Structures are given as C-alpha cells and as structure tokens.
Amino acid sequence: MRSLAIVLAAALALGGCRSVPETTNVATAAAFDPAEAAYIKKPGTGSIHGHAFWRDDKGGTINAAGEIIRLVPATKYARERFAVLYKGGRSLPADQIPRVDVDPQYADYTRTTRAESTGRFEFDNVAPGVYFVTAQVHYRDKDSYVQINAGSFRSRLRTGNDGGAMFETVTVSGKEEKPVKLVLTNDR
C-alpha cells in the first residue's frame, strides 16, 4: 500500500507538469525607440479583421476564443525580438514559449483586443504602418494523459496545456477601402 501511495504521489506531481522556462531577457542589438513605434498611437482609418486559431496535431482547429490579440509596430527592435522569440519561425508550441521580461515602454506602444468565441478579432482606426499581429492559443487536449498502473489501481491523469504562440506581419497603407484580412495560425 505504501508503494502505491508513493507511485500516486509521483504521478500526481509529474502528470500535470511541464517545465516552465525561467524568465529571460531577449537580447537584441537594437534598443527600443519610442519614436520608431509612435505611429501606432496616431489616428488612422485602417482596419485589420482576422481569425486566430491553432491547428492541433490531429488536424483539428482550436479557435483563439477569448484570447488576447496584440498589435505591435514592426520596428527594428520588434523584428529582432520576434526573430529571437520565435526562433526564426512564425509559431511555437506552448512548451517552447519562453517567459520574458517585457520593457514597459515597449508594451505601452502596442494595442490589444480580445478574440470572440469564434477566434475572430478586429483592430479599427489603425494608422498606416507595418505591424506584427500576435496571439497565443491555450487548450487541453482531451486525449493527452498519463496512464497510471499500480497493482490493481488504474487511473488516467491529464497532462499540461497544448497550443502555442503565433504571429503574422500585416501592412496597413491607409488607402484600403476594406479591412485588411488576416488569418493567424500555426498551420502553414
């Protein structure tokens, strides 16, 4: 009975865990320059309408329902930062997303919105410029579990979160007659 308790305790301790990376600084050659990002605070007539979702490894679609969508000016600092964070790609699985310290001044030069239940989102009154649109999708795969067998005891324990982070680049010219359409996904 004691060995069963030890096995269960270990399984519970490990079953729902994924390693959480240490908070790190993102090393960039460029310093954040508020003047370069200032266009995000200017009034504009552009709109970005999009759909954010994560394609799981079974081909299913998980909408970014209720998730924060961020609009970031594609400054030199942001381009370097995204290249480091996303390792040269456009998306990362949840277990590879680094925890990073964010410069409060950099964060002040972004806009956010929340995706609807369908994963749809909108940014209106966007000034002309080049932007990154980012999102994270978090979900728990109902089929992700650890099977525990100890003597006659059998149990399934769910494991950690699935999903990930992704971004796309979008250009708003200010001359658009319709919203810029964007699909934000890891499925490329």
Band the pLDDT of 11: cuts 50, 70, 90.
very low
Count the domains in the chain. 1
pLDDT at 147: 63
CA distances from 95 to 19, 43, 92, 172, 185 (A): 7, 38, 8, 32, 17
In one-letter notation, the amino acid at residue 69 is I
Over residues 96-154, the pLDDT tens digits come to: 888 777 788 999 999 999 999 999 999 999 999 999 999 999 886 655 555 677 777 76
Would 124 be classed as within a structural domain? Answer: yes
95-100-37 Cα angle (round to 5): 125
Residue 26 lies in a domain: no
Tell me whether residue 95 is in a domain.
Answer: yes
The answer, as to whether pTM is greater than 0.85, is no
CATH of the domain at 151: 2.60.40.10
- The gap from C-alpha 113 to its chain's centroid, in whole angstroms, comes to 13
Tell me the residue range of the domain where 118 lies.
Answer: 2-17+31-185
Q: Which of 2-6, 73-77, 175-179, 181-185 has the lowest mean pLDDT?
A: 2-6
Determine, yes or no, domain membership for 24. Answer: no
- Would 93 be classed as within a structural domain? yes
